[in-house]
Amino acid sequence: MDFLIRTKMKKEELIKHKTPFYCYDLELLSQTLDEAQAHAKKHDYHIHYAMKANTNDRILKLIQSKGFSSDCVSGNEVKKALEIGFKPNQIAFAGVGKSDEEIMIGLENEIFTFNCESVEEIEVINELAEQKGKIARIALRLNPNVDAKTHKYITTGLEENKFGINSWELDNLIEKIGSWKHIKLTGLHFHIGSQITSMTPFKNLCIRVNELNTWFSERGIRIEHLNLGGGLGIDYQNPTENPIPDFELFFGVFKQFLEPRPHQEVHFELGRSLVGNCGSLISKVLFIKKGIKTNFAILDAGMTELIRPALYQASHSIENLTSESRESEFYDVVGPICESSDCFGKKIELKETKRGDYIKIHSTGAYGEVMTSGYNLREQNPVVYINE
């Protein structure tokens, strides 16, 4: 029962909280952040935390206090980042569809950069900046056409995806850039996808970035920073044995293959790899129901609390925290929502499970709590923090 041992949270403590609830291990988060920062600093790399992964205040505060910058994808995330204490010059604002109001928030606060995804977006930012009497710093999000070899819903760097500016648009863009008087092009931005566990896509990204970086310098355009995005995956299958991703290996690939010019800063936008394993979803078994092949363990948490399995066929490690049985059995672990996709895993081996047992769904710190919904008018319960 690693949860009980690691947290020293006794069963009496566990049952005080109304289920389902998100539980964050702040010590593991702190260790993960320190490790990421240490390996990035070795190469003078800057990490923006991709806030979309988890916007819980306590988590954001810890990340901010450790010197990370932030990567936002909405006006509200920019506001939240400022509230938490991130400095405007630490904020990158990305997104394929920024509204005028959201652009205004970025302009008023003179953020570090807008990561721009189309020519039309740059034109609009230029116009709005002119109205405000500001110069907007922008980075071009370029579509590198590199396959991240991950789930298709979280692949972003292929020409068929909606993201980024494709290479065939660059000549046209560069011709216009001189006429946009309220824009300062400072960076190139890339992001190929998420939950990437092989280093090959990152190596391929570096090779493509080197080509594009050269393309700009050959045209006399000075680029001050390269932003390589996020995407480093976590070990969903063995989170207890392997709670912290291999940041040394990850940054090492960029050190080896990326060729920044001497004046260029290198930035990253990591989300999942920083927060993914520090969170878990704790739920209670409502009923055990006999199925044809396996039994169903019906939990009080569903796709409304954690949508990743339903949306991306994601598989999270699942554990019975309180069963004292020595026997184990196979269960389809499902939620209470009226959708067949409301299933956390099929044929999951658990200690013999009965009504009232506590179940831990591991590695839900990223894209868990932030993606909850009120479908079926579901309630949201308070979050629990451990190892503070």
The contact set with ligand LLP (CB under 6 A) reads 50, 53, 71, 94, 154, 156, 191, 194-195, 229-232, 269-273, 308, 312, 366-367
Min dist. Cβ of residue 190 to ligand LLP (A): 9
**Token pair of 264, please?**
């260029």
**Token pair of 228, please?**
């390589």
d(C-alpha 216, C-alpha 174), whole Å: 9
Could you give the dihedral angle defined by the CA atoms of residues 40, 189, 149 and 318, in that order, rounded to the nearest 10 degrees?
A: 60
In which element (H, E) is residue 2 found? Answer: helix 2-7
Comparing CB distances to ligand LLP, the nearer of 125 and 314 is 314
Comparing CB distances to ligand LLP, the nearer of 143 and 156 is 156
Min dist. Cβ of residue 36 to ligand LLP (A): 11
Contact predicate 270/351, CB 8 Å: no
Comparing CB distances to ligand LLP, the nearer of 232 and 350 is 232
Comparing CB distances to ligand LLP, the nearer of 14 and 278 is 278
Min dist. Cβ of residue 236 to ligand LLP (A): 10
**E strands, 58-179, where?**
69-72, 91-93, 113-116, 136-141
Q: Which amino acid is at 215?
A: W
Which SS3 state, helix, strand or coil, does residue 334 take? strand
Min dist. Cβ of residue 62 to ligand LLP (A): 17
Min dist. Cβ of residue 308 to ligand LLP (A): 5
Min dist. Cβ of residue 312 to ligand LLP (A): 5
Alpha-carbon torsion 238, 239, 243, 248, what sign? positive
Min dist. Cβ of residue 356 to ligand LLP (A): 30
Comparing CB distances to ligand LLP, the nearer of 156 and 320 is 156
Alpha-carbon torsion 304, 307, 309, 311, what sign? positive
Alpha-carbon torsion 177, 178, 181, 186, what sign? positive
Comparing CB distances to ligand LLP, the nearer of 180 and 367 is 367
Alpha-carbon torsion 252, 253, 255, 256, what sign? positive
Which SS3 state, helix, strand or coil, does residue 82 take? helix
Comparing CB distances to ligand LLP, the nearer of 129 and 275 is 275
